[in-house]
Amino acid sequence: MRLTPRHPSGWPLALRTDELLAVACLLAGNTTSIQAAIRLTVTTVTTVTTVTTVTTVTTVTTVTTVTSHNVSTLLAEVTRRSDCADVLHALILLADHLDHHGAPIDYARRRALFTNRAHFIDPRCWSDPQHRLRSNHRPDAAHAQHWIFHPLTGSPPHLAHPDLAPGAGAQRQQYQRFRWRILPAEADLLTHTARAILDEHGVDEPLQWTPRLPEGAQRELGLPVPDPSSITVGHLHQAVPGGDFSIARLARALNTTTSHVIFLLAQHPVDWSPPRFRRTQHTATRLDQRRTWYEQDHLPLQDIADREGTSLATVLLALLKDGVPLRPAKSYLGRPRRKDRANQRQS
């Protein structure tokens, strides 16, 4: 995001800039041709067409979404613009960092495993929480599939399996809106699902990773976009209104670009839902912990309520709603039942 030239509106100057910059990073400090760098770094879309008549004819067409012309045009624009004076220097720093330290993620392996996969999450697992979390339009489950595809492969969703990839125009815009409108509990669910998929395939890698360049070098660079950390998470969450909101209006309130705000919201989801749904969302995210305390640690309900700073009734209703079998009343209330107290008085 920081290395991307921008229009005055804040939108990227070129499409697929992340892919173009990845190619440019591989060019730093060597004689690799642009075409060779594209083959090494860019995900390709493979289309297989089979025609069956008397004989069977199979045609495999591989299409890349990046060309040498795209890369050359971006580099020429970066070189020309005064606000991009240190973009090439930053690419060299990044290339040197990767040469010396490597990366903990093997994206080539991940793309081989997941690029042609058409399903990542059961739509029911996605749609069920929506009734508890959202008061407005609930996003299509396809967007959840796109979200998981992106961190698993490092590739944008339009390079996913044809049954999964969003179409051009409005559908891609809807996915971009989904990324910055996602709720914290939804992001947790998708992150957990993606992590489980990696574990199923024996991939012992972080879900995502960001290289850490020297702090001093970053501060001195003149880049098109300010450091994302120039706006704190607390300031961002405080500025987001409850309910529906405009990303452009939020960017003006924070005195930054829309792309900056979209990036921050995608990294640090905000609970913008109305109070009733916000309380329900908190209950949903805490349920696993409550079950552990109740079923495995055998804590009384009152102790669980005290730990969470809520009422016994709230914890009791949440467990009942989720179908947790309750122990006898004496165990979870921590005091004798009415009949037991009557027997004690008689004795």
Average pLDDT over residues 36-54: 60
**283, pLDDT greater than 50:** yes
Tokens of 13: 């100057």
CA distances for 22 relative to 41, 68, 179, 299, angstroms: 7, 13, 22, 52
Average pLDDT over residues 27-47: 76
What count of residues does the chain have? 347
- Look at the alpha carbons of 289, 293, 295, 297 in this order and tell me if their dihedral is positive or negative: positive
Q: Which run of H or E residues covers position 122?
A: none
What Rg do the C-alpha atoms of the chain give, in angstroms? 26
Query: In angstroms, rounded to a whole number, what is the distance separating the alpha carbons of residues 322 and 126?
Result: 17
Higher pLDDT, residue 129 or 73: 73
Average pLDDT over residues 277-298: 69
Q: Where are the domains of the chain?
A: 1-103, 113-200, 275-346
For residue 196, give every residue at least 6 positions away whose Cβ sits within 8 Å of its Cβ, in sequence order, or none. Answer: none
Chain segment 151-186, per-residue pLDDT in tens? 999 888 888 888 877 666 677 788 888 888 888 888
Average pLDDT over residues 288-298: 82
Chain segment 77-97, per-residue pLDDT in tens? 888 888 888 898 889 999 999
Question: What's the number of CA atoms in the CB half-sphere (13 Å) around residue 330?
Answer: 6
For residue 314, give every residue at least 6 positions away whose Cβ sits within 8 Å of its Cβ, in sequence order, or none. Answer: 283, 305
**337, pLDDT greater than 60:** no
**34, pLDDT greater than 80:** yes
Chain segment 196-230, per-residue pLDDT in tens? 999 999 999 999 998 887 777 766 788 887 788 88
**57, pLDDT greater than 50:** no
Average pLDDT over residues 223-251: 84
pLDDT of residue 110: 93
Average pLDDT over residues 226-252: 85
Query: In angstroms, rounded to a whole number, what is the distance separating the alpha carbons of residues 75 and 340?
Result: 81
Higher pLDDT, residue 273 or 254: 254
Query: In angstroms, rounded to a whole number, what is the distance separating the alpha carbons of residues 147 and 179?
Result: 8
**272, pLDDT greater than 70:** yes
Helices (H) and strands (E) in the chain, counts: 18, 2
Average pLDDT over residues 121-147: 76
Q: Enter the DSSP assignment of 53.
A: S
Q: Enter the DSSP assignment of 62.
A: E
- Name the pTM for this structure: 0.69
Q: What percent of the chain has pLDDT over 70?
A: 76
Query: In angstroms, rounded to a whole number, what is the distance separating the alpha carbons of residues 152 and 208?
Result: 8
